[in-house]
Amino acid sequence: MAGRTQRYSWDSRAFRKLAPEAVQELHARLMAARVVGPATGCWYWTGSRDKNGHGKLGALGSTARPYRLAWLMFRGPLRAEDFFLHGFDDLGKACHPSCFNPNHSRGVGPQTLNMRQAVEDGNHWQVSKTHCAQGHEYSGRNLIRREVVADDGHVSVWRYCRTCKNDFSRRARAERTQEQRDRDNARRRARAALTSKP
């Protein structure tokens, strides 16, 4: 994410620059577009949403996320690079993307933590995939699972389709030129000669 400009980067600095009347107007607009779930306690955004269901609000010439504004109004400071970490509703279930109740947040943090939590909660779009792009099922012998350890020690599990991997390897071997094959065979013979010497 380094070097990329976020479109929805309302932070404490921008919020502090607002006149009290502008803050009151934003507060009124947030509350007017809120429907409170009676059982969940979620504040559902009824205004405009993006394709993923997250709310968006035109504010002072830019677009703001309702959950960022709610955090700034009710919880406290927020840096531009911080992401709102969606949490759980009052019933203990993962919140809907349109929920902007700041009390349902796990806090704020970097995008890596946000994605990690989405995977752990089963909300990440990759987790729900049951088939690869070619239509092969991710199960049984066709599923290859690989654990990748990040610098911070976190372990991610990557899934691969064995059928697609084998097809790719077959095509790659068939496309190799005779010259490449001869060079590889010469390397193998040289390695074998080195290891066979006493």
Position 193 confidence tier, pLDDT thresholds 50, 70, 90: confident
Residues 131-167 pLDDT 10s: 999 999 988 999 888 888 877 777 777 888 999 999 9
Residues 48-69 pLDDT 10s: 998 888 888 887 677 888 888 8
pLDDT the model gives residue 115: 77
Give the Cα separation of 76 and 11 in Å (integer).
Answer: 10
Task: Kindly list the structural domains of the chain, giving each domain's residue range(s) and its CATH number in brackets, ordered by start.
Answer: 12-124 (3.90.75), 129-198 (no CATH)
Give the Cα separation of 89 and 75 in Å (integer).
Answer: 17
- Is the whole model's pTM more than 0.95, yes or no? no
Position 76 confidence tier, pLDDT thresholds 50, 70, 90: confident
Q: What is the DSSP string of the chain?
A: -TTPPPTT---HHHHHTS-HHHHHHHHHHHHHTEEE-TTT--EEE-S-B-TTS-B-EEETTEEE-HHHHHHHHHT----TT-EEEE-B-TTSSBPPTTB--GGGEEEEE-HHHHHHHHHHHT-STTTT--B-TTS-BSSGGGEEEEEEE-TTS-EEEEEEEHHHHHHHHHHHHHH--HHHHHHHHHHHHHHHHHHH--
Position 10 confidence tier, pLDDT thresholds 50, 70, 90: low
Position 7 confidence tier, pLDDT thresholds 50, 70, 90: very low
Give the Cα separation of 57 and 66 in Å (integer).
Answer: 7
Residue 120 has pLDDT above 80, yes or no: no
- Rounded to 5 degrees, φ, ψ at 185 are -65, -40
Q: How many CB atoms lie within 10 A of CB 107?
A: 13
Task: Give me the chain's average pLDDT, please.
Answer: 81
Give the Cα separation of 181 and 169 in Å (integer).
Answer: 15
